[in-house]
Structure 1
Amino acid sequence: MAEELAETDDKAEEQGALAAEPARPEPPLPALLAMPLLRIEGVVKKFGGVRAVDGALLDINAGEFFALLGPSGCGKTTLLRMLAGFETPDEGRILLNGRDIAQVLPHERPVNMMFQNYALFPHLSVRDNIAFGLKRAGMPRAEIKARVAEMVELVKLKGLEKRKPDQLSGGQRQRVALARSLARRPQLLLLDEPLAALDKKLRESTQVELMEVQRRLGMTFIIVTHDQEEAMTVADRIGVMNAGRLEQVASPRELYEAPGSRWIAEFVGDINLFEGNMQSRELNRLTIATRDAGALAVAEPRNPVGKTDVAVAIRPEKVKLSRRGPVVDAINAHAVNRLEGVVADVGYLGGTTTYKVKLASGAMLRCSMANTTRLDVDAYGLGQHVVAWFTPDDCVVLEQ
């Protein structure tokens, strides 16, 4: 039994442990200042005839919290495993501080990975789990003790050092796994769905703690998640993957407010889409004739629209509802898009209420409104006639 545990420990360590120093010298300082910490150049990974990762191009800067977001099977975990060294690219390069690590063994690269199931050793205490990689690296006993104490303090586990994993809550086990991953101070920490096993409230609080740890250490984190809210909360930038390709890389705000494609607009958050044709351009406004919402005025996008067939996208929270519509005059009437309809569905979500408004065309317009009063006697009910309105600046034009 002891031999089996030792083999298990060795295997886990082989996959997650780091070499203290890279095998080759680092590039000179001027070169380091000019390059990102991590550069992924045309990386391809095939399984049979399927390209799980298809020509990924990505730069990630030192000290950045980066998220890989996408639906199941999009290739995000495969890309993460290539960064960790558990998969080898069929094409392309992975440069860490200018050095190609695509063929470097996992334990020889300054990268560590925190697994979804935490992979804690059940027979070891919190202290020994955190110290495991340090002992294998040959760190002096006094330094191990100091480093473990530092990690325990960092992840708020003081007083729990002697407990075994089965004596800890899910959130506490997650912190132990994080401390063990950070103990050897990797240049890059990879997190594979690290909060998936936690309940909603614990997941939200742990997200904040994870951000605090990353900022205090100034370390580069890459997290893989299918949870959009999680990615939006923790990440400085997000790379959205679809069918093996990076569809868009942007800040959470830009990704949400200025999606680069129709697929991104539909995948990230809720959205209303109206198919149409561009009719005219005047005073930085486009007029788009839609099948379901009539003529809509839309702010001209920064990038010129090259096609006449387009879609107009409006986020639900940008749509306002009222019984009579906004007060406008002949001068500023063009500054508001006004649609009439009937409330077909109401969803009370505590902080917000969502409405589905059936337009004359039969199309549904979704609206999300904040509940700013405790008992809103003016809330809209099923079957009620309402006016929905939004400004041209609230709209995004997407080419087909």
Structure 2
Amino acid sequence: MPLLRIEGVAKAFGNFRAVDRLSLDIRAGEFFALLGPSGCGKTTLLRMLAGFETPDEGRILLGGKDIAQALPHERPVNMMFQNYALFPHLSVRDNIAFGLRRAGMARGDIATRVDEMVALVKLDGMEKRKPDQLSGGQRQRVALARSLARRPQVLLLDEPLAALDKKLREGTQAELMELQRRLGTTFIIVTHDQEEAMTMASRIGVMDAGRLRQVATPRNLYEAPSSRWIAEFVGDINLFSGEITSRENNRLKVATRGAGTLVVSELWPPVSNDVVNVAIRPEKVKLSRRAPASEEGGSQAINRLDGVVTDVNYLGGVTTYKVKLESGAMVRSSVANTARLDIDAYLAGQRVVAWFTSDDCLVLEQ
């Protein structure tokens, strides 16, 4: 039995169905991410878990008990808001203690718990400051400490890092992950940032139009998307539509419109339709000045595409290239910069061979 079970939950606002009969299981101690574009229903789902919205239908079971109709303060769930929602007239200490006082905890126990929370989020020496005397990262820690002070079974985080700059956001991600591991509390984070979800979460649920499209680990979501929509939404991808012309020795030959005939390793379960999409991640596409050997290690077929480099973007750790094929189709390649100098780099206008193995490809049904 999972800690949290969502069964056929739906929520509509007028004629707009924000969450459409969604079902999901979340395990105890899991760091789970709800990922999706704006308006997909992820925040509405989070608010129903917190008790700020009531489902039109379905059940929300926490520890086997249906809490769908329970008020927010009656459920062992807490929510950390995107804007932190700190009380500007209260000190750090009083902001953290606010929920404990509302719950009627004894004064001595409150003092002890607040001390624990201050130490946990590393705000020692700042207890008397007001929110306007803190940096964005420090305010975020106060909000986190207040959310954790009542020791909820589930902590809900609504885009908690959106207001932080890139460097601070990366550091805070690591701190949140370490904090979650130490506490063992179930964290559910809502985000539209794919990198954030894949960095922090043990599993990710991708939402679109009020429904879950796929639930998987970050690696499986990226390497084995269940549909073309998921493949395009999560990370960058090269996609070629085509038709399977032969199946032999666990390999498919796919005649594509933009890249000619590609050889693809068939994964289990096999595809049932002949009209498919061949997907290749940019980092799987290698570039060479001449065609590679016909076999890599003697086991994998190699697909070769001749073209001309049209765009070069140096991003520090990697360089991304766009290669225009003879058919006019574009292929993106992402190459790690392993050398300090650009001895292995390619220039715009240069002819290259873009190549990848049969195992680098993924077949997706339409």
Deviations 1:261-312 (A, max 9, x none): 1100000000000000011111111111111111111111212211111000
Whole-angstrom distance in 1 between the partners of 2:203 and 2:300: 36
Deviations 1:169-205 (A, max 9, x none): 0000000000000000001100000000000110010
The answer to whether 1:50 aligns with 2:16 is yes
Deviations 1:47-74 (A, max 9, x none): 1112110111100000000000000000
Which runs of structure 2 are paired with 1:1-400 in the superposition (5 Å)?
35-328=1-294, 332=298, 335-400=301-366
> Secondary structure at the residue paired with 1:152?
helix
Deviations 1:211-260 (A, max 9, x none): 01111000000000000000000000000000111000000000000000
> Secondary structure at the residue paired with 1:159?
coil
Q: CA deviation at 1:389?
A: 0.7
Whole-angstrom distance in 1 between the partners of 2:69 and 2:7: 14
The 1:333/1:233 distance shift into structure 2, 3 A limit, reads closer
> Secondary structure at the residue paired with 1:336?
strand
CA contact (8 A) 1:343 1:384 kept: yes
Q: CA deviation at 1:366?
A: 0.2
Q: Bigger CA drift: 320-329 or 167-176?
A: 320-329
Q: Bigger CA drift: 136-145 or 74-83?
A: 136-145
Q: CA deviation at 1:396?
A: 0.7
Whole-angstrom distance in 1 between the partners of 2:300 and 2:194: 35
The 1:201/1:329 distance shift into structure 2, 3 A limit, reads closer
Structure 1 vs Structure 2 CA RMSD: 1.2
Q: CA deviation at 1:141?
A: 1.6
Kindly provide the amino acid, as one letter, of the partner of residue 348 in structure 1.
Y
The 1:123/1:83 distance shift into structure 2, 3 A limit, reads same
Whole-angstrom distance in 1 between the partners of 2:295 and 2:176: 51
Aligned-residue sequence identity (percent) comes to 79
The 1:331/1:60 distance shift into structure 2, 3 A limit, reads closer
CA contact (8 A) 2:300 2:359 kept: no
Q: CA deviation at 1:378?
A: 2.9
Provide structure 2 residue ranges, at least 5 long, that are not aligned to the other structure: none
| Equivalenced residues, count | 366
Whole-angstrom distance in 1 between the partners of 2:270 and 2:249: 14
Q: Bigger CA drift: 139-148 or 179-188?
A: 139-148
Q: CA deviation at 1:398?
A: 0.5
Kindly provide the amino acid, as one letter, of the partner of residue 329 in structure 2.
A
Deviations 1:338-397 (A, max 9, x none): 111100111111111000000010000000001111111231001100011111111110
Deviations 1:75-121 (A, max 9, x none): 00000000001111111100000111110011111100000000001
> Secondary structure at the residue paired with 1:335?
strand
Match of 1:10 in 2: none
Deviations 1:107-143 (A, max 9, x none): 1111000000000011111111111111111211221
CA contact (8 A) 1:74 1:241 kept: yes
Q: CA deviation at 1:327?
A: 2.4
CA contact (8 A) 2:118 2:145 kept: yes
Q: CA deviation at 1:329?
A: 6.0
Q: TM-score, normalised to structure 2's length?
A: 0.98
Kindly provide the amino acid, as one letter, of the partner of residue 4 in structure 2.
L
